[in-house]
Amino acid sequence: MSNSKKPVSGVGRLLQIAGRRKRLLILSAVLAVLHALLALVPYILVCTIIRAMLTTPVDTEMIRSNIIWAVIAMTAAYALLYASGMASHVAAFNILYELRRQMADKLGKLPLGFINSNNSGALKKIMADDIERIENFIAHSIPDFIKGMALPLITLVYLFTVNWLLALVSCLPIMLLAVVIPMMFNKKNRTLMTAYHRSLEEMNAGIVEFVRAMPVMKIFGHSAESFGKYSGSVYRFREMVMDWIRIASPPQGMFISFISNATLPVLAAGLYLYFTGGVTPAVFFLFLLLGVGYIRPLFALINIGPQISVINHGVKRLDDILFGQEQETAGEETLGDNYNVTFDRVSFSYDNKAYALRNVSIRVPQGSVTALVGPSGSGKSTAAQLVARFHDVQEGAIYIGGKNIRHIRPEQLMQQVAFVFQDSFMFNESIYENIRMGMNKTEEEIVAAAKAARCHDFIMELPLKYQTRWGAQGTHLSGGEQQRIQLARAILKDAPVLILDEATAFSDPENEYLIQQAFSKLIGNKTVIIIAHRLSTITNSDQIIVMDKGAVSAWGTHPELLEESPLYSSMWHAHIRAKEFAL
């Protein structure tokens, strides 16, 4: 479905989603209709009793046996209602689960740029709230709609056979509402709905950011009130909702008023017919009774309209993700027999405006170490990320072992590349799992990797050692320690292509030294790309590539570049000066 066109929207799309559990939902609907039929029994019973009372002698035996049947019917009706509800809920929650998985899956397949350009709080709202609302449609709106329609329709047909005029009058309020409410509702509703969602997302983003940025909030003395993104978005959300409510309340109030007075037309018409002899007392009472009762399920319909439009807006947001353009993999190629990494005239832009890389050609032979250096913004991190295909190049191609990485299945590509990022990220799991990262490795291997990355000692001091959960009480690791966990992951992965983006930037010099030694042993026959700020750490590289403004400015070994590249030599001298920095 990845490349299929975005399909229908609105209710059609919701039904398409619900269609994933068609059988369960049909079952639920059938049960709901059966329930509705059985729920009529007491009304019919009342009718027969009234008839019996108006004839003499009163047949008490008949009334008694009817009541027993009614008891059985009602018990069955409720059992059916439960079964119907369960069927629709099981269907709904399974569908929600699938949609959420699908969304997570899809986010993993979209280019990184997509996530970077979306606020995580807003994405979370789609995952948590927008998808949750679909439950309402599947498990409530559909059965409510069927019940809401079935019972009145069945009753109406029955009533028409009894007295067509009163039957017609009894559905007057509904017909009136059916005409008036959509008229009152649809005008401003759509724009308000969009504004509502935007406002809610904005508030989500503000709150998530406020909590995440708490250290900054504290140190700069910002309270929730003074942090405009928090309080402003909270107040704006209220204003927004109140605007909406002012518009939605008149039709809703009208509905409630009409429904609670639904007997009025029947009463008036019935009285008229009664006095002119057009209706018997029994029939009149039947209408007074049913004329109220049968409309009640329509109460459930009152909210379906607005609910669906709320759900729809959420689904639209979800669909933007589900049908987003993912990275394509053209054809499936087997891997090459080596792991040379080659950039062939690669150009890349994040925003289709300014080039981040322009016409870059690089060759990194297997078993060698290549360092990418250059001023910040020169494109070295971008180049490294392209090897892992976090983004797709616009022009040119990148090859591993002679195979275009766009032709290698993403999972396979990821197995070939280990990446250590500048910023580490810890997951809310045990340290053990944080190192294992889903890889199929033994405990010995994990401990060995931790030792090589100089993690073992500080892990052993944690309260539960390797089983300490990150984010639980008392887990506190410094930035350097977190980065070493990341290194342990990469060591454990043992992939043939290794990319180190400032892998030891946050380590203290002692550990940096030991880690570098450990890694140097591991490098062996791998293809290694290192990005390093401290030029003195990469002077031994087989090849140093100097990047400047998205292009390759020079390449060679350290001594060669000192001679030939003015940029490199100025960077080198700046570095030497910086090393002398004293506070």
Partner 1 sequence: MIRNLIYTFKTAPAAVRKSILLEILHGVFIAVPTGFLLLTVQELFSGNVHQLRLWSYVFIMLGLLVLQLFVSVKTLIASNSMTYSISTSLRIRLGNHLQRLSMGIYKQRDPGDLASVVLQDVANFELIFGHTIGNIASAVFGTLILSVFLFITDWRLALVLLAALPLSWLMVLLSDRLIGEEGTKHVQARNETGARFLEYVQGIRHIKSFGLTGSRFSSLDRSLNDLRKTSIRTEAIPGPLVLTAALVMELFFLLMLYAGAGYFTGGTLTAASLITFMILGYRLYGPLKIVLVDYIILRYMNISLQRVTDVLRLPEQSAGRGVTPSEYDVTFSDVHFSYHTGKKVLEDVSFRVPEKSMLALVGPSGSGKSTIAALVARFWDVQEGSVKIGGVDVRDMAPETTYSLISEVFQDVYLFDDTIYNNIRYGKMDATEEEVLRAAEKAMVLDFAMEMHDGIHSPAGEGGNKLSGGQQQRISIARALLKDAPIILLDEATASLDPENEVYIQQAIQELVKDKTVIVIAHKLVTIRDADAILVMNNGQIDACGTHEELIAQDGLYRRLWQIQQTAGGWKF
Report the site for partner 1 in 135-154 (rule: CB under 8 A).
Answer: 135, 139
Minimum Å distance from CB 336 to partner 1?
Answer: 19
Nearest C-alpha neighbor of 287 from the set 150, 164, 154: 164
Contact status: 264 vs partner 1 (CB under 8 A): yes
Question: Tokens representing 528?
Answer: 């290694």
* Cβ neighbours for 243, distance < 8 A, ≥ 6 positions apart: 192
Q: Does 419 bind partner 1 (CB under 8 A)?
A: yes
**Which among 314, 321, 320 has a CA at the least distance from the CA of 14?**
314
- The answer to whether 414 contacts partner 1 (rule: CB under 8 A) is yes
Please report whether residue 210 would count as binding partner 1 according to CB under 8 A.
yes
- Between β-strands 527-531 and 497-501, what pairing exists: parallel, antiparallel or unpaired? parallel
Q: How far is the CB of 163 from partner 1 (least distance, A)?
A: 17
- Please measure the distance between the N-terminal and C-terminal CA atoms of the chain and give it in whole angstroms: 59
Give the Cα separation of 102 and 105 in Å (integer): 5
* Binding window for partner 1 (CB under 8 A); candidates: 8-16, 179-187, 280-288, 316-324: 280-288
Which residues ranging from 463 to 492 are in contact with partner 1 (CB under 8 A)? 463, 471, 473-476, 478-481, 486, 489
CB 419 within 8 A of CB 501: yes
**Footprint of partner 1 on residues 301-330 (CB under 8 A)?**
none
Report the distance separating Cα 104 and Cα 95, nearest Å.
Answer: 14
Q: Which of residues 244-263 bind partner 1 (CB under 8 A)?
A: 245-246, 249-250, 252-254, 256-258, 260-261, 263
Site for partner 1 in 349-408 (CB under 8 A): 353-354, 369, 373-377, 381, 388, 390
**Strand pairing report for 369-373 and 527-531:** parallel
Taking the complex as a whole, how short is the minimal distance between the CB of residue 8 and partner 1, in angstroms?
25
Sheet holding 543-548, edge to edge: 417-420, 497-501, 527-531, 369-373, 543-548, 551-556
Which one of 145-153, 176-184, 313-321, 418-426 is the stretch in contact with partner 1 (CB under 8 A)? 418-426
Nearer to partner 1, 231 or 347 (CB): 231
Site for partner 1 contains 289 (CB under 8 A) = yes
* Interface region with partner 1, contact rule CB under 8 A, candidates 18-26, 155-163, 429-437, 442-450: 429-437
- 22-39 vs 41-54: helix crossing angle, rounded to 10: 10
Q: Which is nearer to partner 1, 347 or 539 (CB)?
A: 539
Q: Which member of 234, 304, 335, 551 binds partner 1 (CB under 8 A)?
A: 234
CA-wise closest residue to 307 among 145, 156, 161:
145
In the set 280, 347, 404, 537, which binds partner 1 (CB under 8 A)? Answer: 537
Query: Is 511 a residue that touches partner 1 (CB under 8 A)?
Result: yes
The nearest distance, CB 218 to partner 1, in angstroms, is 6
> What is the number of helices (H) and of strands (E) in the chain?
25, 10
The structure tokens listed for 557 are: 């070994």
Interaction mask 544-583, partner 1, x per CB under 8 A:
---------------------------x--xx-xxxxxxx
